[in-house]
Structures are given as C-alpha cells and as structure tokens.
Amino acid sequence: MTTIQDDLLAPEVIADPYTYFGQIREEDPVHWNSRWNGWLVTRYEDVVGVLRDHDHFSSDRMASFVLELRPEDRDRLSLLISYFSKWLVFTDPPYHTRVRMLLNKAFTPTSVERLRPRVREIIQELLSQVEHKRHMEFIREFAFHLPVIVISEYMGVPPEDREQIKEWSDETSRIFFIRADEPDRRERSQRGLQHLLDYFEPLIHDRRRHPRDDLITALIQAEERGDLLSDEELLATCTVLIFAGHETTTNLLANGLVALMEHHDQWDLLHENPSLVRPAVEELLRYDGPVKATFRWAKQDVELQGKTMREGDRLLIVLAAANRDPRKFSNPEDLDITRNPNPHVAFGHGIHVCLGAPLARLEGQEAFLALSQRLPNIRLADKPREYHRTIVARALKELWVEW
C-alpha cells in the first residue's frame, strides 16, 4: 500500500481527480485527511449510504461556518449568514422538506419539458453566431451563455440585466472558494449578495401585483397545504437558483465535449444515432461530471467501513470516485454512451438530489444533439487545458475548439 498524500489541491489532483480519488477508494475507502481535517468517503455504496442518511449526516454548512467566526465577524456578516442559512442545499429537515416541496413542482421533468423548444432555439442562435469563425473558446462563447439565458428567461429576469446578475452571483460565490490570496472574500461575498437581494426584491414585489408566466410568479404562488414561501425565503431561493444553475451546467457541456473528443468513436456513434443523446448525457455526467464532491457533517458518532466518525466531523462525499467504482459500474474507466442503467451520483442522492437536474439534463441533451449534428467535425484545438483549483467543481478555465 502506497501512502496517500493529503493535499486536495495539488496540481496532479486538480488535473486528474480520478486517479487520486480512485486510489483512495481502493486502498482506504473512508480516509481521514488530516490536512483538510475531515473524512473522504469514496465508494459508491458508502456515498449513497451517507447521502440517504440525513438522520446521521447534516448539510448545515452555516452552523460550522458560524462557529468558526469571531463574534464581531458574526455581526458583520449577519446578512450572509441569515440568507445562506436558507439556501436549500445547506439546510436539514424540517426546513429543507418544506421549501423543497414548495419548489419541486416548477422543476419536475414534466414542468421543464415545455422549455425544450426554446432551449433548442437558443442553442441554434448561439451556434449561428460562431459557426462561420471555425473556432471558438467553447466556454466563453457557448457553454457559459446557455444556462444563464435559460434560467434568466425561466425566472423572468430581463435580458439586459443578465450580465450584471452573473457578476453579483460570482462575487457571492467567493465565500465558497478558499483562496489564501483573498482576505476580503467574505465581505465581497456579502456585498454581492446584497446586490442580488436589492435586485430581486422589487422584481418579486412587481410579480405579486402583476403575475406573469414565469418562475418568480410560480414561486410566489407555490402552495402546499396552505403553506407559502415567505419573502425572505423567496429571495434566498432566487439567489440560489441563479447561483446553482450557472456554472454546473456550463461544466457539463465543457467536460462532456472533452470526453467525447477523447473517445471519438463515441462521438461518431452519437452523430449517427441522435436518439442516444439521453443515455449519452447520463454517461457524460458519470464519466466527468461538474461536481466532484459535496460536504456533510456527522450529527452523532457513527461508524463507516470500520472507521469511527465523531459528532461534528466533516465529510467530503466524493461523487467523482463513486461514479467510477468498479463495484457498481462495469468498465468504469470506459466512456460508453449506451450504458444503461446508469445510476450515477453526479446530481447527488437522497433528499438533496439536485433540484435543477431535469433542466440541466434537458440543456445537455439539446446541446450535444445540436453540436453533434451541426458541427460534427469539431475537434479540440492544440492548446493546454487547465482546471480551476477547487475541491468541489470540475471546471476548465478555457476550452478551445475548431472545426
């Protein structure tokens, strides 16, 4: 057994997380990382087990965040704390149950299906803008725009405000990227959030008086057994939707395209059989999904694979390792767009399973369908590819392609 190095941001781990987390999955599947100060959970069975067990494992990220703050910082960051505590993804039942059920109807596969024609249209428009150039930076010129346009239109955000909102959303997200060179990231995050709140508040008030056929109106009207979302919950939800829907889908498109280019037989197969696009997108999510890992906190002492976790311990749930676990998937290192069934965990699992998954799937299907039909000769340009240095996201900085 080789020793496991514990720097999760080491260049080789960022470049190839699958080899690194794969080694841990095979040699020490529930691994204590003393540098990150938490447990790594890597086998499919354990990942699914923990994500299904919200009685023993909490998603309340703000609880531990607040504990680490000095009292004066708690006061200064009270807005941030108060809103992030209402972000679905950081909450536990019963709050989570209530809000998730109120949001769910707007995001079911049936509900988002009616967006498909418009998604198709947006994709064709985006491709028309670049087709004649015969090359592009795929993220900036294509993959970035699609999810932003789709979620903004669905929510009812005017097109001219999109860029600004994206900027505020990026500012807000700074809190989640631990970068030593950014001492004021918490303040910047809070400022970004304040801008988003100031933007959405009048929009919500407007829709209360003048209902429209958009998501904000639907969320205002969402009702379960007489229960409604409060103004604060509505605001928190608007910010989380803008935030969660942006980068992840962009990365599905970019990572997916790289995977298909590096397995050109699979690209050709898709080009010749467009009806394979649904299983193809599932396989791209499994093979190199946008979210490498997520977090949980032990709510009490609990045992996993013979290791004892203590109450309050932090867990990194490594979706990327589970998705290539040979105990669950045959030939897990192969990209096989016909794989079926494909019970991957790219969207998480259990009560927090991605709310936007049906929408992300739809966007992915339409994008790869259009790309494989309209630009069948697309190829990766001969440029180095670099990934952002984060534990959670599998995100390319740039992706140059030509055709």
Partner 1 sequence: MPRRLRITIDYNRCVGSGICILTAPNVFRYNDQRQSEVIDPDGAPEGVVLEAAQGCPQVAITVEDADSNERLFPPADLL
Q: Which residues bind ligand HEM (CB under 6 A)?
A: 59, 88-89, 100, 151, 240-241, 244-245, 248-249, 252, 289-291, 294, 346-348, 352, 354-356, 359-360
124, amino acid identity? Q
In the list ligand HEM, partner 1, none, the entry touching 343 (Cβ below 5 to 8 angstroms by class) is partner 1
Which of 322, 354, 391, 401 is close enough to bind partner 1 by CB under 8 A?
354
CB atoms within 10 A of CB 88: 20
The listed partner (ligand HEM, partner 1, none) that binds 291, CB under 5 to 8 Å by sort, is: ligand HEM
Closest CA to 322 of 42, 51, 53, 49: 42
53 binds partner 1 (CB under 8 A): yes
Which is nearest to 110 in space by CA: 352, 366, 343, 361?
Answer: 361
Q: Which stretch binds partner 1 (CB under 8 A): 99-107, 143-151, 179-187, 245-253?
A: 99-107
* CA gap 315, 31 in Å, rounded: 10
Residue with tokens 């016909």: 338
CB of 46 to partner 1, least distance (A): 13
State both tokens at 374: 């309209």
From the CB of 224, what's the least distance to partner 1, in Å? 9
Q: What is the DSSP letter of 174?
A: G
Chosen from partner 1, ligand HEM, none, partner binding at 359 (C-beta under 5 to 8 Å by type): ligand HEM
Does 110 engage in binding with partner 1 (CB under 8 A)? yes
Among 315, 355, 367, 393, binds partner 1 (CB under 8 A): 355
Torsion angle, alpha carbons of 232, 233, 236, 242, to 10:
-130
Angle formed at CA 355 by CA 278 and CA 147, multiple of 5 degrees: 65
Nearer Cβ to ligand HEM (151/196): 151
**CB of residue 95 to ligand HEM, shortest distance in Å:** 11
With 0-12 / 13-18 / 19 or more C-beta atoms within 10 angstroms meaning exposed / middle / buried, residue 110 is exposed
If binding is defined by CB under 8 A, does position 108 make contact with partner 1?
A: yes
At residue 169, φ and ψ (nearest 5 deg) are: -65, -40
Site string for partner 1, 32-51 (x = CB under 8 A): --------------------
CA atoms 334, 335, 336, 341: torsion sign: positive
Nearer to ligand HEM, 98 or 128 (CB): 98
Residue 135 in tokens: 């090359």
Of 309, 325, 332, 362, the C-alpha closest to 40 is 309
Give 54 or 394: the residue with its C-beta nearer to partner 1: 54
What does 52 interact with, of partner 1, ligand HEM, none (CB < 5 to 8 A by kind)?
partner 1
Closer to partner 1 by Cβ: residue 250 or 342: 342
H/E stretch holding 136 reads strand 135-137
User: What is the footprint of partner 1 within residues 78-97 (CB under 8 A)?
Assistant: 97
Which spans of this chain sit near partner 1 (rule: CB under 8 A)?
52-53, 97, 100-101, 104-105, 107-110, 113, 278, 341-343, 347-351, 353-355, 357-358
